[in-house]
Amino acid sequence: MRPLEDVRIIAIEQYGAGPFGSVHLADLGAEVIKIEDPSTGGDIGRYVVPEQHGEDSLFFETFNRNKRSLSLDISTPEGRAVFEDLVKVSDVVHSNLRGDVPAKLGIRYDDLKHLNPAIVCSSLSGFGMTGPRSAEPGYDYVLQGMAGWMDLTGEPGGPPTKSGLSLVDYSGGLVAAASILAALHAARRDGVGADCDVSLFDTAISMLTYPAAWQLNGDFEPRRTHHSAHPSLVPFQAFPTGDGWLVVACPKEKFFRRLAGALGHPEWPDDPRYRDFAARRENAEALLAELEAVFATGTSEHWLGLLRSAGVPCGPVNTVAQALRDPHTVARGMVVETEHPYFGTVRQVASPLRVGAEQRAHARAPRRDEDAGYVLGEVLGYDAERIERLRAADRRD
């Protein structure tokens, strides 16, 4: 059995953050049943362009492989009855809705514990279920600004800049997945479930980590750095070469000694200006000017070969296409394939979560309501007449 094969998750999720958290659990074997509201056409991720066709898109495929879909409006009496029956035979209810919506929909632990005392109720929202902003929608871009990330990103003197990826969404999804697993462990041990009140805001604030500690406990003011340099370690940043860019990292003294030797300057570690972390930080302008002059004389491939041979942490600044073709990407099996009736063979990035040695095949994301027969018939044991009544109501919606 795969690690989570005995776990059933009801997912009232949409778009990116919530589905990103549950797709990793699905990859590990959990049965994730997406509840998709027929009145809205289901998960809005189905309609994200480009590469979108009908009720499917490559965006949706990315976040929903290995899942099932049930079209259900839980705000109606009929839909609520089906939902409550599912709660009785499931382990987790996972949602990513506005922070005040779980209470309105009645999907918190206190709302459902009478049906299943061990149910875990995960809410991933923009601002959480408490606090002055709990009723506000929250999105990655907004949170990157609010949490100080954009103030730290980009070149000094330039405009505030977001990350090229939706890192608050994705990090929030992983935090929700970790919270679910912790609550599920406790529920199976104690027989009592819980709420997991996870927010993108909390996630983004928590990821300020040591710059936050420096600011909270001293006079350090986090700020943008030239060429994405580390705020305190020198050298630890991007450098232009004769034909591109590379990143060099020296978080240990031995790495600086190796770097100096590889670049033909074994005298640098003995220079009082560069002898240790503190000295290099104080004299960063001089050292970085010397390094930039050296790197400008050769290609990225030349310098990366030299530095890797010397044991210096380094890497190229790849395009997305180059990163996906990197031999290590291929060797680690980080691109997987599924088959889709419209898109054909869909290649996408794999989950980084690994448990054991088994390499499993992946199933495409479900068509909307594709698994109604399985969920209503096999999981819940409804007879054909009741299933047809529910399907008829769905079609009217």
Q: Decide: 6 and 30 in contact? Cβ < 8 Å.
A: no
The four Cα atoms 143, 144, 145, 147 give a dihedral, to 10 degrees, of: 70
Token duo for residue 351? 């989950």
SS3 148: coil
Cis peptide before 117 (omega within 30 of 0): no
Distance of alpha carbon 342 from alpha carbon 56, whole angstroms: 9
Question: What amino acid is encoded at 313 in this protein?
Answer: P
From the list 230, 265, 340, 362, the catalytic residue is 230
Pairing of strands 56-57, 52-53: antiparallel
Say how many residues make up the chain: 397
Could you tell me whether strands 8-12 and 92-95 are parallel, antiparallel, or unpaired per DSSP bridges? Answer: parallel
φ, ψ of residue 183 to 5 degrees: the values are -65, -35
Helix (H) or strand (E) holding 68: strand 68-71
Phi, psi of 240 (to 5 degrees): -75, 140
In the three-class reduction of DSSP (H, G, I as helix; E, B as strand; rest coil), residue 30 is classed as: coil
Contact 94, 22 (CB under 8 A): yes
d(CA 273, CA 78) in angstroms, rounded, equals 74
Residue 230 is a catalytic residue: yes
**Angle at which helices 77-88 and 384-396 cross, to 10°:** 130
Q: Are strands 314-316 and 245-249 parallel, antiparallel or unpaired?
A: antiparallel
> Which three-class secondary structure state does DSSP give residue 335?
strand
Instruction: Note whether 262 and 249 are within 8 A (CB).
Output: no
Closest CA to 92 of 207, 192, 185, 11: 11
Question: In whole angstroms, what is the distance from residue 160 CA to residue 86 CA?
Answer: 46
Helix locations, the chain, DSSP H = 17-27, 58-64, 77-88, 101-105, 109-112, 140-146, 149-152, 167-190, 200-206, 209-216, 253-262, 277-282, 284-295, 300-310, 320-325, 327-331, 372, 384-396
Residues annotated as catalytic (active site), given as ranges = 230
